[in-house]
Structure 1
Amino acid sequence: MAAPMRHGRLRRVLVWTGAVLGVLVLTVAALAWWFVWVPTPDKPVLAVRETSASITVDGRQRRYVTVVPDSLPDGAPLWVVLHGANNTVPQIRAFTGYRLEELAVEKGFAVVYAEGYEKTWHDCRTATPYPARREGVNDVHFVEELVATVTSQNRLDASRVYGFGYSNGSHMLFRMIAESPGTFAGIVANAAELPADGNNECTPWNTPVPVMLVEGTGDPVSPYDGGKAGAFGQNLGLVRSAEESALLLAGVNRVTDGPVRTLVGGDPGEDGSVTLTEYGAGTAHPVRLYTVRGGGHIVPNSVARMPRIMGGSTEHLDSPQAAVDFFEGLPSDSRTREGS
């Protein structure tokens, strides 16, 4: 009788062990799903012409998607959108809630979404492991050719071209205003700070360009206070703090007034609250820094949110709307770009 009893106890132990492991697996799967899943926003029905195309630059076929409102008049502005590393054009459209496309119809401009080389951009940072940097891809040349092609084909105003970036795409825009400052009349960088000196292969920034930064104090990839960037074991090198980045760019833009800080939304000290720090308000080349308290590696907008694993978000800032309003409100002389 002893042997059957032992076998019975062993079976019960195995059953309970299996049940516990099953619960643990389901719990881990549920947590993983909660962290990474987000609902995909519905693509709005808009009166636009959407075109997928490509150009050959330096022997490589480079792809892009243009969204041009119907009956857009000649001489309209262009917004160039650069996605983050390992993202795609469909993803950045969804991450931004298609807001730039809605604003394009409302305000009257065209949008082009550029596709990075193997989903990456060769920005200023020397530490990035991205294919675009490893293979020496000249993304400055690609963006220049893209802007020239799209503005020519759609009869757009080449003096009113604006950049909107996220993460690696934001860093690419930092490279553009360093090495091809005449390409953009202004840029918006979400979730990226300027690289530190030891992590920067670009020529110095020395031409004034209006800049808007959107940074979260809880960014798990690009630290708001500066330091080592990267997540999930990846090393992207050192970056400056958000405040230092804004101050450096204000110096490049030769503005001396500021910083002026304003609470945009939320309660002070509360996660999700947004503060605007501005240098050179009312000048031709201001610098704006939107700080999202507790915000993560995100593009805040009124439609879509990014996976929770990227950190907190906010309902007090729509980055695409703030970007368009910022550049629409600049003095007209800011559109006569140095270096163009």
Structure 2
Amino acid sequence: MKAIATFAAFAALLPCAPQAATITSGELTRPEGPRHYLLATPQQPAAGKRPLVIVLHGHAGSASLVFGKERLNAPMQQWLNIADREQLLVIAPDGARGSDDKRGWNDCRADAETNPKTDDVGFISALIDKAIAEHGADPARVYAIGTSNGGGMVYRLGVELAPRLAGIAAIAALWPARSLCTEPAQALPVMAVHGTADKITPFDGGEVGHFLLRGRGSAISVERTLAIWRKVDQLPDAAQEGALPRRRESGDTSARRYVWGADPQGMQVEFIKVEKGGHTEPSIGHRMQWYVNALLGAQNADFETAEEAWAFFRNKKREPRP
């Protein structure tokens, strides 16, 4: 845990370098029609196979938002800096439109009426195939991270694409109360970040959404969600824990890390609990506008979410199948 915390704290304090990764637009033909994605590649030529990170936007988001190409100062754009610095491939796909005409993902929530009905697991699997075949992605180092509905989709990938993934991270997302999916059967490293004052995906579980956001289903609590992954990973109930250093910009929020599993190269579940944090990704360098905080709740500034996720992912590899 100390090694993870030390690296992440150092990386998060680095100045945000220019987003030098090259972004290209692509399209895959799928049974539901063409599916769009953005690919970020480092400027330097590859010295070998590169790790691949799939980043999934939330409900009503987009690939363009993930990469900081819209008006909101989205924290996940930090992946562009990480891609160039660490020589990663990063793919941000666009979700399909649901019955509310907003882009999203067909995650495991059986009662999320406005979710699209597309085969998003098949879409992500095809993107991984393409990245391996055409861009030199390392099949042993494929990771997925998502926020909100995107985080819920990452949990579905953790069940249905577990043999292809070396680790997943879910931000402001919970396991569904009524699920289309079975619980995970294959061990997988999992990281989660959640605010205790999240009113859209409530920390203690319940109905997802708010008075302007209906039909989004229901979920279990953070603790029960983490317990599902600890069980399949065969990890103990006791965690190593410690507070993250406070920053003035965090206001009333604070962050505390819990880690189950001592080996950074092995099976771990990591959770960063954001006290009084809302439905946002914590960030030092990518601060959300005031009206976003007014709608979604307070954004913590004690750590950079993407940097913490990469610190969690970087030493984990998928074991070759026999």
* TM norm. shorter chain > 0.5: yes
Bigger CA radius of gyration: 1
Retained in 2: the 8 A contact 1:192–1:222? yes
Deviations 1:164-209 (A, max 9, x none): 101111111111111121232111101111112xx10112211111
1:187-336 map, 5 Å: 187-196=168-177, 199-233=178-212, 234-256=214-236, 258-266=238-246, 271-282=252-263, 284-306=266-288, 307-308=292-293, 309-330=295-316, 334-336=317-319
Give the whole-Å Cα distance in 2 for the aligned partners of 1:68 and 1:216: 31
Match of 1:77 in 2: 51
Q: CA RMSD for the aligned pairs? A: 2.0
Match of 1:88 in 2: 62
Tell me the SS of whatever aligns to 2:176: coil
Match of 1:35 in 2: none
Tell me the SS of whatever aligns to 2:163: coil
Query: How many angstroms does 1:241 deviate by?
Result: 1.2
Query: How many angstroms does 1:257 deviate by?
Result: 5.7
Aligned length: 287
Tell me the SS of whatever aligns to 1:281: coil
Query: How many angstroms does 1:235 deviate by?
Result: 4.0
Tell me the SS of whatever aligns to 2:104: coil
Unaligned runs of 5+ in 2: 1-15, 69-73, 98-102
Is the deviation greater in 53-62 or in 288-297? Answer: 53-62
Q: 2:41 aligns with which of 59, 68, 88?
A: 68
Retained in 2: the 8 A contact 1:125–1:195? yes
Give the whole-Å Cα distance in 2 for the aligned partners of 1:204 and 1:97: 28
Retained in 2: the 8 A contact 1:176–1:183? no
Give the whole-Å Cα distance in 1 for the aligned partners of 2:122 and 2:260: 30
Query: How many angstroms does 1:275 deviate by?
Result: 0.6
TM-score (structure 2 length as normaliser): 0.84
Matched, 1:125 2:98: no
Query: How many angstroms does 1:285 deviate by?
Result: 1.4
C-alpha spacing 1:97/1:121, structure 2 compared with 1 (3 Å): closer
Matched, 1:116 2:95: yes
Query: How many angstroms does 1:131 deviate by?
Result: 4.7
Give the whole-Å Cα distance in 1 for the aligned partners of 2:280 and 2:32: 33
Match of 2:145 in 1: 164
TM-score (structure 1 length as normaliser): 0.79
Identical positions, percent: 28
Aligned partner letter, 1:120: G
Give the whole-Å Cα distance in 2 for the aligned partners of 1:129 and 1:75: 40
Deviations 1:59-85 (A, max 9, x none): 410000001002133311011011001
Give the whole-Å Cα distance in 2 for the aligned partners of 1:137 and 1:144: 13
Query: How many angstroms does 1:46 deviate by?
Result: 3.8
Is the deviation greater in 112-121 or in 280-289? Answer: 280-289
Tell me the SS of whatever aligns to 2:151: helix
